């Protein structure tokens, strides 16, 4: 009996440890971009505007700029912010999950690493949504579906211009000037 429980708890512990180790990579996703930072941002912005489902750009954040203002250097990093009221509204209306507003707007991060390549960082919305009940799970799985389209690039299309929010800068004011937004 003791052995049985011991084995069971050991198994649980092992899963917990594995979960802890891989949690980061499960919750977030990183892919390499074939383009430079600015072009990757611009193409994602274009994709967001073309994907439908109410998606609109709500800002472009440059946290690197804040570091520069403080006198330091970081490799370029930019966050494309997008929002769709179609997905945000149901969550924002439900008191039990309103705290998930902390995940809004939806962000896609584009950055360069020391290998000189550009990478795209995203949240695994599908998996995260499953943790907060069927309604959120349903919404987030749709978000995840659209999110995958944000980073589908057609290299044959010419590079679109990067859309800068009205008030960029250190504080990273979300560009409320962009159409839509949440």
Partner 1 sequence: MPTIRRALLATCGAAVMLTALSAFAAASPDPTSSLNGATSSKKSTADHSKFPELKRKFKTGPEVTQACLVCHTEAAKQVQHTKHWTWQSADPKTGQVRGKKNIINNYCTSVVSNEKDCMACHAGYGWKDQSFDFSVQKNVDCLICHDGTGTYRKLPGYAGHPVYKRVEFPHGSGRFVDAVDLGKVAQSVQLPSRSNCGSCHFFGGGANGAKHGDMDSSLQHPEHYLDVHMAEKGLNFSCITCHATNSHEITGSRYNVEAARTGDAAIRGKTDANPAACQACHSNKPHHEARLNQHTEKIACQTCHIPEFARNNIGTELSWDWSKATIMGEDGKRMMRKDSAGRRAFDSQKGEWKWESHVIPEYRWFNGTSTYKVIGDKIDPPKPVQLSVVGGGPDDAESRIWPTKVHRGKQPYDTVNMTLTVQHTGGEDATALWHNYDWQKAIATGMKAAGLPYSGKYDFVETELTWPITHMVAPKEDALSCAQCHSKNGRLKDIEGIYMPARDGSRWLDILGWTLALLTLIGVLVHGAIRVVNSRKAG
Binding site for partner 1 (CB under 8 A): 36-39, 41-43, 67-73, 75-76, 112, 114-116, 158-162
Which is nearer to partner 1, 129 or 172 (by Cβ)? 172
Q: Name the minimum Å distance from CB 75 to partner 1.
A: 6
Contact (Cβ atoms closer than 8 angstroms) between residue 158 and residue 143: no
The set of residues, in sequence order, having a beta carbon less than 8 Å from that of 111 and lying 6+ positions away, is 37, 75, 76, 77, 78, 118, 119, 121
Can you read off the two tokens belonging to residue 93?
Answer: 């209306």
Q: Name the minimum Å distance from CB 47 to partner 1.
A: 13
Note the maximum CA span of the chain. 68
Q: Name the minimum Å distance from CB 76 to partner 1.
A: 5
Which is nearer to partner 1, 148 or 159 (by Cβ)? 159
Which is nearer to partner 1, 72 or 134 (by Cβ)? 72
Q: Name the minimum Å distance from CB 159 to partner 1.
A: 5
User: Per residue in 151-172, is it b (16+ CB within 10 Å) or e — as a string?
Assistant: bebeeeeeeeebbebeebeeeb
Which is nearer to partner 1, 30 or 68 (by Cβ)? 68
34 SS3 class = coil
Q: Name the minimum Å distance from CB 72 to partner 1.
A: 6
Q: How far apart are CA 143 and CA 55, in angstroms?
A: 10
Which is nearer to partner 1, 60 or 82 (by Cβ)? 60
Q: Name the minimum Å distance from CB 148 to partner 1.
A: 22
Q: How far apart are CA 41 and CA 164, in angstroms?
A: 10
Whose tokens are 């795209």? That residue is 120
Whose tokens are 């009996």? That residue is 1
Which is nearer to partner 1, 40 or 88 (by Cβ)? 40
């Amino acid at each position: 009996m003791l052995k049985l429980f011991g084995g069971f708890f050991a198994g649980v512990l092992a899963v917990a440890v594995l979960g802890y180790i891989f949690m980061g990579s499960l919750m977030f996703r990183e892919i390499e971009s074939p383009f430079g930072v600015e072009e990757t941002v611009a193409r994602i912005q274009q994709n967001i505007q073309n994907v439908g489902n109410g998606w609109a750009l709500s800002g472009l954040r440059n946290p690197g700029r804040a570091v520069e203002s403080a006198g330091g250097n970081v490799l370029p990093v930019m966050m494309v912010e997008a929002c769709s009221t179609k997905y945000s509204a149901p969550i924002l209306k439900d008191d039990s999950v309103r705290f998930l507003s902390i995940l809004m707007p939806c962000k896609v991060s584009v950055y360069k690493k020391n290998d000189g390549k550009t990478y795209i960082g995203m949240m695994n919305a599908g998996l995260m949504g499953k943790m907060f009940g069927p309604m959120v799970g349903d919404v987030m799985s749709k978000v995840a579906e659209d999110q995958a389209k944000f980073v589908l690039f057609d290299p044959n299309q010419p590079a679109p211009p990067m859309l800068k929010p009205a008030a960029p800068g250190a504080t990273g004011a979300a560009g409320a000037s962009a159409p839509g937004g949440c």
